[in-house]
Amino acid sequence: MDPYVHTEIDQSLATITFFHPSSNSFPSVQLQKLVKAISDLEEHENVSVILLKSAGEKAFCAGASFDELLAVKDEENGLAFFSGFAHVINAMRKSSKLIIGRIQGKTVGGGVGIAAACDYTFAHSNAAIKLSELAIGIGPFVIEPAVSRKIGLPAMSAMTLNPIEWKSAQWAFENKLFTQLFDDVEEMDVAIKAFAQQLSSYNPMALKEMKRVFWSGTEHWDQLLTERAKISGRLVLSDFTIDALTQFKTK
């Protein structure tokens, strides 16, 4: 199947589903489509809640496109590449809609940032998480503000400094990245449906104001995440990262 980002609206609930055959990874074009899908819902005043999910049963999101990462040749391209997830996180925090995340499988790098930028998350017990960036000579600079905001800097540090270690869904739940955790996918989806319907029945003005309260203090993130993207865009050109990526590609 071809990659897609699809939006479906049912009264006050909008569902955004994304898919990519490479474990739901995100090339730049796909990230742009997700930003547009989130932003376009601002025109739908009747929508107060967004359910963000990926297709398939295994991976929620494998992060950025590795092929595009290998193609970065200068700092300008590096900034553009690493700004992809920055734009998604900023679109999510600026959205006036409350965003529910459905995390059904493993999540890496930028995918962890997307999960952290959700206002409420449901996850399956198979949804292990990992920040692998240090292993290739860069770091999760762009997504750090969103992840640290959700789980705290100590837990963020524990993930970042162990880039080859998967943290379990239970660990993510205990550290508040996941709000609810389920062993059964069908049970999780029933709970998501009931929660989304209940949440979307509340006063939309109250929900909008609560969203603003939840994200207070992040007004500077447009600039902050761009600065973080510049750091990654510079590091990806380092000899260490080039060697690491070359070794990874030849495995």
Report pLDDT digits (tens) over 57-73.
Answer: 899 999 988 888 888 99
What percent of the chain shows pLDDT beyond 70?
99
Q: Which two tokens stand for residue 175?
A: 């550290």
The pTM (predicted TM-score) of the whole model is 0.96
Q: Which residue has the tokens 């049912």?
A: 10
pLDDT of 242 reads: 85
| pLDDT over 90 at 247, yes or no | no
Query: Do residues 25 and 64 lie in contact, with contact meaning Cβ atoms separated by under 8 Å?
Result: yes
Average pLDDT over residues 74-96: 96
Write down the H helix ranges in 119-220: 144-151, 153-160, 169-174, 185-200, 204-214
Average pLDDT over every residue of 162-189: 98
Q: What are 209-226's pLDDT values in tens digits?
A: 999 999 999 999 999 999
- pLDDT over threshold 90, residue 42: yes
User: Tokens representing 152?
Assistant: 């705290």
Q: Mean pLDDT, the chain, as a whole number?
A: 95
Say if residue 250's pLDDT is above 80. no
The CATH class of 4-200 is alpha beta
pLDDT at 67: 83
- Cα separation values, 238 from 43, 78, 233, 242, Å: 43, 12, 10, 6
Q: What is the pLDDT at residue 71?
A: 87
How far from the centroid of its chain's Cα atoms is residue 63's Cα? Answer: 8
Residues 169-178 have pLDDT tens digits of 999 999 999 9
* Chain-centroid distance, C-alpha 81: 15
User: What's the pLDDT at 199?
Assistant: 96
Question: Is beta strand 13-19 parallel, antiparallel or unpaired with respect to 98-103?
Answer: unpaired
Nearest C-alpha neighbor of 14 from the set 42, 103, 24, 4: 42
Q: What is the pLDDT of residues 198-209, one digit of tens each?
A: 999 999 999 999
**At 122, is the secondary structure helix, strand, or coil?**
strand
Q: Give whole-number Cα distances, 122 to 88, 93, 101, 102, 158, in Å.
A: 19, 18, 6, 5, 22
Separation in Å, CA 2 to CA 5, 21, 26, 44: 10, 7, 13, 27
The predicted pLDDT at position 251 comes to 65
C-alpha 167/C-alpha 158 separation (Å) is: 10
